[in-house]
Structure 1
């Protein structure tokens, strides 16, 4: 029995010795400290891309919207009433200036003109005879003047009838494309009836509004470029007219430009996206927009200097789709950080992966 207790005591002492050597001896403490040291990894440099800043030329442009208008547009109507005796155009085709489009009944006027013309021939003969007789003093001056006055009255009457006849013929006031007709042969045409619409779209007019502050820059002859939804082409136009007064509500001024349209790609009433070049800055600094970090009072960028990130406050101005103008805070030759900005803090060590040109 005593032997059994002795064995248990020796086993307990052995286990206690092993535990002490593993966790509490000097060697165990040194091993733990080494392990803990390995777990603490020192922060390394942030991998970034940089861009060397340089002076560049940039155009000061604004994007605005406008409307495509026809160069000339008219709703064709008749100046006189009557039955339509002829329609001489095809819908949707081009017509020339002066071309006969619609004719209204005018036989009664034609007959009146023939009657007056016949009377005018007789009156002319009588006036010629009286002129000869008056020269020979065979008739009085009063008889000669009476025959001359009668002839002039008949000429005036014939001119009136011809004017009435011309109003029964509707002709194209300018060359262009005629639209859908609203009348038919034999129908009654009144001055309030719309016949069709005539449009001249070459050149096309582009109407748009510009904020008041840009007024000193917009002049006759200014160039604009624009696009429309119906075409992938870029179109050019030249400003030819500017409204003399500002709109009191929007504080904008209306501008109109002309764009060549020989292929008919521009349609009246279309929506135009306009790019207007205000001026050109010959020397300035443009950087990618993502480089600039907005702050409460200003903006800042990070510059690579001596292996670390240096924060610099900057002033910005113009913006494009991808770049922003720096007017103060940077100079040509500075190396600006363009990636990894989320991980960077002032004085953070940097590792350059790529230099963007």
Structure 2
């Protein structure tokens, strides 16, 4: 019996404790329930201002350019061949050397032609004297018009024959058609030179030609006089060139326009046949606003940025234009002096209070 009473008393104490805890355990020192009151107040504590970095908007100039690839060609290039066949009597150039326009490079045997020309000159002298005599006699009516015309025709025919021989002799002398550097020769003195035998390659490397293609949408922005810069694998320098010719039609396969520019090469640093990495300047905007790309938030109908106004973040609609790797042009919506928020944008909602941590001018 005594044990049963002890059990009953223990159960009563447990039940009493549970009831007391149910009624009084959720209150704070002031007698108010902490979790319940917080839940009624909204369930969370209100946050402070968002820390942000700000950029002061200002005007700047920007260059619109694109990167392309192209090939490098000599200004002029020709494979020298002879217009007549014969034995080579002389070679007057050094392989890899510079030659001047009109310089004699190779001579082919022409003594037979020289002899024919000398004979022709004697005949011309005699025919000229005969024509002169008949002209005097015709004035005195001592010969007929037909006899004079025959002597005049003979004289003119001999002069024409002499011109033909002179042209044939000229073909036996190969001259440089332009100034430049001559390559390796494939002939030897005394060898037989035919009209199909290559002699050497002559190139003019100052200036060099840079040929490249641009997408058709850039056609209105490119014209003769446009500037490009490029670099090549064999040099760390940047070289400059000027556009001088544009293909009049667009390639229907690639939809590109072929452009050619000239690059000065007085020291021979640019090698023909090389590969060029080109930067083409399309246009230059002297005054515009450029902002970091990440601070422009695209919406369905427009783009937005956030400005700081009286300690609050204020959304502003903007219009954009040119885009570079890291920046975006704002053509409308910003003015010089605006405080543009460039960080902490994910935390900003509506007119959020902000705290400026850093100002970039």
State the TM-score, normalized to the length of structure 1.
Answer: 0.77
Distance 1:227 1:237 in 2: 8
Distance 2:127 2:93 in 1: 46
**1:252 shift after superposition:** 3.5
| Residue 173 of structure 1 pairs with residue 177 of structure 2 | yes
Contact 1:57-1:284 within 8 A present in 2 as well:
yes
Contact 1:68-1:207 within 8 A present in 2 as well:
yes
User: Which shifted more, 25-34 or 126-135?
Assistant: 25-34
**1:35 shift after superposition:** 11
**1:125 shift after superposition:** 4.8
| Residue 189 of structure 1 pairs with residue 228 of structure 2 | no
Distance 1:130 1:324 in 2: 88
Distance 1:332 1:324 in 2: 16
| Residue 228 of structure 1 pairs with residue 226 of structure 2 | no
Residues 81, 311 of structure 1: alpha-carbon distance in 2 compared, 3 angstrom cutoff:
same
Residues 180, 41 of structure 1: alpha-carbon distance in 2 compared, 3 angstrom cutoff:
farther
Q: CA-to-partner distance for each residue in 1:188-213, whole Å, 9 max, x for gaps?
A: 33322322221112222233334444
Residues 191, 331 of structure 1: alpha-carbon distance in 2 compared, 3 angstrom cutoff:
same
- Name the residue aligned to 1:324: 328
Residues 33, 199 of structure 1: alpha-carbon distance in 2 compared, 3 angstrom cutoff:
farther
Residues 336, 144 of structure 1: alpha-carbon distance in 2 compared, 3 angstrom cutoff:
same
- Name the residue aligned to 2:292: 288
| Residue 77 of structure 1 pairs with residue 75 of structure 2 | no
Distance 2:268 2:120 in 1: 53
| Residue 113 of structure 1 pairs with residue 114 of structure 2 | yes
**1:97 shift after superposition:** 0.6
Q: CA-to-partner distance for each residue in 1:90-126, whole Å, 9 max, x for gaps?
A: 222211111122233x1xx313422441463365257
Distance 1:139 1:125 in 2: 22
Root-mean-square deviation (Å): 4.2
**1:325 shift after superposition:** 0.6
- Structure 2 SS opposite 1:192: coil
Distance 2:332 2:74 in 1: 46
Distance 2:84 2:66 in 1: 50
State the TM-score, normalized to the length of structure 2.
Answer: 0.76
**1:174 shift after superposition:** 0.2
**1:355 shift after superposition:** 0.9
Residues 47, 171 of structure 1: alpha-carbon distance in 2 compared, 3 angstrom cutoff:
same
Residues 186, 345 of structure 1: alpha-carbon distance in 2 compared, 3 angstrom cutoff:
farther
Distance 2:206 2:119 in 1: 47
Distance 1:284 1:54 in 2: 8
- Name the residue aligned to 2:41: none
Distance 2:181 2:245 in 1: 25
Distance 2:154 2:77 in 1: 44
Contact 1:76-1:197 within 8 A present in 2 as well:
yes
- Structure 1 SS opposite 2:223: coil
Q: 1:98 aligns with which of 92, 102, 105?
A: 102
| Residue 348 of structure 1 pairs with residue 352 of structure 2 | yes
Contact 2:130-2:151 within 8 A present in 1 as well:
no
Contact 1:92-1:178 within 8 A present in 2 as well:
yes
Residues 140, 233 of structure 1: alpha-carbon distance in 2 compared, 3 angstrom cutoff:
farther
Q: CA-to-partner distance for each residue in 1:281-302, whole Å, 9 max, x for gaps?
A: 3432211122223445543322
- Structure 1 SS opposite 2:161: helix
Unaligned runs of 5+ in 2: 39-43
User: Which shifted more, 70-79 or 223-232?
Assistant: 223-232
